[in-house]
Amino acid sequence: MAKPRPAVIDCGLGHACTFCKLEDDCALDKPAHNRRLIEDRLQAIGGVILVLANKGGVGKSTVAANLAASLAARGHRTALADADIHGPNAAQFFGQQGEHTTVGGRGIQPRRYRFHDHAGELPIGSLGFFLDGPDVPVVWRDAYKFDYVHHLIGSYDWGTLDFLVIDMPPGTGNELITLCDLLEGVETRALLVTTPQAVALLDTLKAARFCHERGLPVAGVVENMAGMSCPHCDGHIEMFPRDPLSDRLAQSGIETLVRLPFSPALAFASDAGRPAVDDGDRQGDAAGRFAALADRMVAAFAREQSGAMSGELVESLGVGAQMESIEAALATRPDIDKAAVRGEIQALIDGEVERLGHG
């Protein structure tokens, strides 16, 4: 006779069973426990930003780190998750190389970067905090990567967040596919990073196609190393010849949100563990560009939330059925500007959405 299935009992621990000393003797339904952890974490996160680059070396980690820091500095509850398993560099970008994390009752504790003005902090989760040294390679097959991506979402004690910025490894492989599966139903936006070089743009088009086929909304693209200023004459220098492929992104409906010139100061500061927003006047231009990028990302999520609220309001008020009657009436009145009437109706709906959002 088969043994009865153990009951799903919440043990109260905020980490997956593989971190538990009681795992061998525990009668908990472990798969159910681990799924619940992920669901609970995601319910407390307003939006997820996947920073993607199908090609390595285009500055994806620099963009992810500085975007997360800029969001946090602007008062948004933000955390940075480093999903780049073979190159976990988040510790380096925030001056925490060689530091280690701990596992407590609430889960894996993120390291925290505290801004110099003490006005805020940025929680950071990275495999680098588990390694014995910065030169230790991570030699894992896909099964281990699959487990770690689940830990990155479910086992870290992220708390309540407005945004979780995830620094993805290059490509469209196992880590990205696993995360897309986990994030089904969660407000998620992809942010593509490229350089103006033709080969990088071609790989970016591949990443954009993946997002389209997967149904992952793309907020836009960051063009990194978009020229530089001559240190002698302040003239603009293009580092790569501008390729016609850049127009293909715009034709695909993907907007360039910000162009980041090559900046030695930004590179030096990243190596020293200082994000642009927390580096005083030395990176005023870079800090301003990342602040603008942060605002664009906030606006992208706000539009999505407004659209969702609008759809719910339309459904609750039965606007769809009423619009059918209105359209039928408009068809009999060629003297009426139909587009203007539709615009007025949508404006009324948008106004009601805004009113309810501030109520």
pLDDT 10s digits, 204-227: 999 999 999 999 999 999 999 988
Contact 282, 247 (CB under 8 A): no
Alpha helices, H only, 126-231:
142-154, 174-182, 198-214
Q: What confidence score (pLDDT) does residue 243 get?
A: 67
Q: Which two tokens stand for residue 75?
A: 């008062």
- Number of CB atoms found within 10 A of residue 303's CB: 11
Q: What confidence score (pLDDT) does residue 267 get?
A: 87
How far apart are alpha carbons 245 and 178 in whole angstroms?
29
Q: Which two tokens stand for residue 158?
A: 């992220």
How far apart are alpha carbons 126 and 141 in whole angstroms?
18
Picking from 118, 141, 152, the residue whose alpha carbon sits closest to that of residue 34 is 152
Q: 196-219: buried (b, 16+ CB within 10 Å) or exposed (e) per residue?
A: bbeebbebbbebbebbeeeebebb
Indicate the CATH number of 36-305 among 3.30.365.10, 3.30.70.3170, 3.40.50.300, 3.50.50.60: 3.40.50.300
Picking from 159, 173, 83, the residue whose alpha carbon sits closest to that of residue 126 is 83
Please give the angle made by the CA atoms of 190, 196 and 200, to the nearest 5 degrees: 65
Looking at residue 56, the DSSP 8-state letter turns out to be T
Picking from 283, 193, 297, 205, the residue whose alpha carbon sits closest to that of residue 244 is 205
Q: What confidence score (pLDDT) does residue 1 get?
A: 44
Q: What confidence score (pLDDT) does residue 352 get?
A: 65
List the chain domain ranges. Answer: 36-305, 318-357
SS3 192: strand
Strand pairing category for 107-109 and 102-104: antiparallel
Q: What confidence score (pLDDT) does residue 351 get?
A: 66
Q: What confidence score (pLDDT) does residue 264 get?
A: 84
Q: What is the pTM of this model?
A: 0.81
Cα end-to-end span (Å), the chain: 59
Cβ partners under 8 Å of residue 310, min gap 6: 349, 350, 353
Q: What confidence score (pLDDT) does residue 318 get?
A: 59
Can you list the residues of the chain whose pLDDT is less than 70?
A: 1-10, 118, 234, 243, 304-324, 337-339, 349-359
